[in-house]
């Protein structure tokens, strides 16, 4: 079984800006500070748990004004208070298919207090697990965060990417 987590790699959340005033916003690259995942090829099962209060901003790009340290620190607080609200982030697979070094995973993701199906592909190579998934917040019944009277928004689609060294727990 492959065990990965925040002590062996990164779980990134990447958001894009949208809306009529998108120029005023930033594309964000954030890291989840506390998470753990398992991939059990023998049992054809995969899981992930992530702490919704452990986000931190790595960088914000594309804004007219630079994203300062204060703003970087404020964003996780906004995510906690106005977006995730402390709801659990958990994934459990319903199907895992292995083809060569690639693993196709289907399962259910608990996010924003709602469980919805999601699929993604992982690559297992050189002792690492890499992969990404794109989800739409609206699929979980959530209206993407907006500011400036709705003219500046976070785009509905969010990319989640993992890159971690695998600890073989077999």
Partner 1 sequence: MLELDHSFTTGKPADYNWDAIVDLDRVIPCVEGGRVVERTSPDEAKAEIVVKMGAMSLTFKGTVAVAERDETAHRATLRVKSREAGGAGYANADVAFLLNDGGGTIHTKAQISGKAASMGEGVVQTVLDALITDFTQKLATI
Q: Does 52 bind partner 1 (CB under 8 A)?
A: no
Looking only at residues 97 through 136 of this chain, which bind partner 1 when binding is defined by CB under 8 A? none
Nearest-angstrom CA–CA distance, 22 and 152: 5
Q: Centre a 10 Å sphere on the Cβ of residue 39 and count the other Cβ atoms it contains.
A: 23
Count CB neighbours of 121 within 10 A: 14
Smallest separation (angstroms) from partner 1 to the CB of 9: 26
Give the H/E segment covering residue 104. Answer: strand 102-111
Q: Does residue 74 bind partner 1 (CB under 8 A)? A: yes
Is residue 83 involved in binding partner 1 (CB under 8 A)? no
Query: Smaller CB distance to partner 1: residue 72 or 128?
Result: 72
Burial string for 147-168 (b: 16+ CB within 10 Å, else e) reads eeeeebbbbbbbebbbbbebee
> Does residue 24 touch partner 1 according to CB under 8 A?
yes
Rule CB under 8 A: choose which of 42, 69, 126, 149 binds partner 1: 149
Q: What is the DSSP letter of 144?
A: P
Between 43 and 74, whose beta carbon lies closer to partner 1? 74
Which residues are CB-contacts of 47 (< 8 A; sequence separation ≥ 6)? 37, 38, 90, 91, 92, 93
Q: In degrees to the nearest 10, what's the CA dihedral of 111, 136, 36, 10?
A: -140
Contact stretch for partner 1 (CB under 8 A) within 5-13, 36-44, 87-95, 147-155: 147-155
Among 4, 11, 46, 67, binds partner 1 (CB under 8 A): 67
* 21 lies in the binding site for partner 1 (CB under 8 A): yes
From the list 74, 70, 79, 71, the residue with the least C-alpha distance to 50 is 79
**Residue 155 found at the interface with partner 1 (CB under 8 A):** no
Answer for which of 71, 108, 121, 159 binds partner 1 (CB under 8 A) is 71
Positions in the binding site for partner 1 (CB under 8 A): 20-21, 23-25, 64-65, 67, 71-72, 74-75, 78, 145, 147-152
């Amino acid at each position: 079984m492959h065990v990965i987590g925040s002590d062996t790699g990164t779980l990134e959340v990447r958001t894009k800006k949208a809306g009529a005033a998108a120029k005023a916003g930033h594309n964000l690259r954030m890291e989840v500070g506390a998470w753990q995942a398992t991939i059990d090829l023998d049992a054809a099962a995969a899981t992930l748990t992530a702490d919704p209060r452990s986000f931190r901003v790595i960088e914000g790009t594309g804004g007219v004004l630079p994203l300062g340290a204060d703003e970087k620190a404020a964003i996780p607080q906004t995510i906690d208070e106005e977006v995730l609200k402390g709801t659990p982030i958990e994934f459990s697979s319903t199907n895992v298919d292995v083809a060569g070094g690639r693993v196709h995973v289907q399962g259910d993701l608990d996010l924003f207090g709602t469980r919805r199906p999601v699929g993604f592909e992982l690559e297992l190579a050189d002792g690492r697990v890499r992969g990404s998934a794109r989800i739409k917040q609206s699929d979980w019944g959530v209206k993407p965060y907006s500011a400036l009277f709705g003219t500046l928004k976070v785009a509905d689609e969010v990319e989640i990417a993992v890159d971690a060294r695998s600890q073989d727990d077999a």
